[in-house]
Amino acid sequence: MKITVYGPGCNKCKQAEEVVRSTVAEAGADVEVEKVSEIREIVKAGVLTTPAVAVDGVVKLAGRVPTPDEVKAWLTG
């Protein structure tokens, strides 16, 4: 499983990355977390509002910071 956080570098984007990383670490899940800040890559992923989070290439959330519960839900299913 791979989780991608999209964000050009604003505060909310850093928060989104932190929430994802800490939740994954806490759950001890075998998940690769990747942060994409390059604007072209963000657009190519079909993201309009940042921060956005994609799980295995599917955008699950855009325009806000995920909650740890949301990240847990992606990890389990």
Partner 1 sequence: MTRKDAPKCECAAEPTPAAGTPDPRAARRKVLLLAAGLVLWVVVYHLLQPGTAWVACTALCGRSSNAFKESVAFFLYDVPKVLLLLTLIVFGVGVLRSFFTAERTRQVLAGKRESLGNVLAAALGIVTPFCSCSAVPLFIGFVTAGVPLGVTFSFLIAAPMINEVAVVLLFGLFGWQVAALYTGTGLVIAILAGWVIGRLHLEKWVEPWVYELTPGEAGTQTAPLTWNDRLDFGLQSVREIVGKVWPWVVVGIAVGAAIHGYVPENFMAAIMGRGAWWSVPVAVVLGIPMYSNAAGIIPVVQALLEKGAALGTVLAFMMAVIGLSLPETILLRQVLRPRLIAVFLGVVGLGIILVGYLFNALM
Which are the catalytic amino acids?
10, 13
Closer Cβ to partner 1, 31 or 42, answer by number? 42
Binding site for partner 1 (CB under 8 A): 7-13, 35, 37, 39-40, 42-50, 54, 57-67, 69-70, 73
Residue 36 Cβ, how far from partner 1 at the closest point, in Å?
10
Residue the block writes with tokens 């928060």: 15
For 58, the 3-state DSSP assignment is strand
In whole angstroms, the minimum distance from the beta carbon of 33 to partner 1 comes to 13
